[in-house]
Amino acid sequence: MYLTAEKKTEIFNEFGNAAADTGSAEGQIALFTFRIKHLTGHLKQNKKDLSTMRSLVRLVGKRRKLLDYLKKKDIERYREIIKKLGLRK
């Protein structure tokens, strides 16, 4: 399994307010980004895996919605998470 409980805790510690704060927008965006990177690597090896492709597209959409929400609510937090994760846009 690529995403262990320890890895999730590490992601939420780094990007969320605390390890227990799993619902923060920044923590969720960071978690989605980690999963997107993993699925992208998988799809480079397995080009015909259409179910993974669908999952990847759904994750990207979820992350985009959270980023739009964060941009609307607090532009400074949005800019900070974009900078930390190295996302385009």
The CATH number given to whatever domain includes residue 31 is: 1.10.287.10
DSSP H helical segments within 1-89, as ranges? 5-15, 25-45, 50-73, 75-85
- Give residues with Cβ within 8 angstroms of 61, minimum separation 6: none
Four-point Cα dihedral 16, 20, 21, 26, nearest 10? 30
Q: What residue has token string 């179910």?
A: 51
Count CA atoms closer than 13 A to 36's CA, side-chain side. 16
| Start-to-end CA span in the chain (Å) | 31
Per-residue pLDDT 10s for the chain (89 aa) are 788 999 999 999 999 887 788 889 999 999 999 999 999 999 999 999 999 999 999 999 999 999 999 999 999 999 999 999 999 85
Q: How far apart are CA 39 and CA 55, in angstroms?
A: 8
Number of domains in the chain: 1
**Residue 15 structural domain:** 5-85
